[in-house]
Amino acid sequence: MNAQRRGLREVEHAWCVYANRWALRPEVGRGFSIVSRLGDGVFWYTLMLAIVAFDGLDGLRASLHMAATGALALFLYRRLKRWTRRPRPYAADGRIRALVPALDEFSFPSGHTLHAVAFTIVALAHYPMLAPLLLPFTAAVAASRVVLGLHYPSDVLAATAIGATLASASLWVAGALVV
């Protein structure tokens, strides 16, 4: 590994230790734990049901679009995790504590972040007025993954890019199917 890459890895690791120590404050750890739990799917499933309840058939179309994008995201991130097999920060460094249980063994990419970004982009394409709710929640989900000791910042950044690309592609396909 070259010196520049090693330096980046050390900086990233230092951020993980710092963020995780910050989360040892009960109010911080508890808040990010709640956000993480909601990001497991509870928030997104509730949002999809609410969209259907409030907007009928159009809401059903939007929710099905979110669900299809989510299913593809699940397939993709599981493949990437099995391929990269990157250990989680808490497994690599005893100073980092996992403040919530991990859903699987590997770190790269962050599935919570990938889904949050993909769901948010698709939902906002259908309902832009949800931005004040979805954008801060998605940012909190992404931050929670590092703060809780489960992911490196690069896991979250890569998941953001993958989620955005996947959602954009799904919007393009959906637009092509409508025309």
3 in a domain, yes or no? no
One-letter identity of residue 158 = A
pLDDT in tens, 31-42: 999 999 999 999
For 11-20, 128-137, 147-156, which range has the lowest pLDDT when averaged over its residues? Answer: 11-20
Per-residue pLDDT at 179: 42
More confident call, 7 vs 104: 104
Provide the 3-class DSSP secondary structure of residue 98: coil
Range of the domain at 131: 38-178
Within-domain flag for 134: yes
Contact 32, 146 (CB under 8 A): no
In-domain check, residue 82: yes
pTM: 0.91
- Please report how many Cα atoms fall inside a 13 Å half-sphere around the Cα of residue 9, on the Cβ side: 9
CB atoms under 10 Å from CB of 53, counted, come to: 9
| Structural domain count of the chain | 1
Mean pLDDT computed over every residue of the chain: 91
Q: Is residue 112 part of a domain?
A: yes
Residue 58 lies in a domain: yes
Instruction: Give the pLDDT confidence score for residue 176 in this predicted structure.
Output: 57
Alpha helices (H) along the chain? 3-22, 26-37, 43-84, 89-92, 111-126, 131-147, 153-178
Whole-number percent of the chain with pLDDT over 70: 97
- Residue 81, in any domain of the structure: yes
Q: Does residue 14 sit within a domain?
A: no
Statement: residue 175 has pLDDT above 50: yes
Percent of the chain surpassing pLDDT 90: 68
* Rounded Cα distance, 12 and 54, in Å: 43
CATH of the domain at 123: 1.20.144.10
Asked if residue 29 belongs to a domain, the reply is no
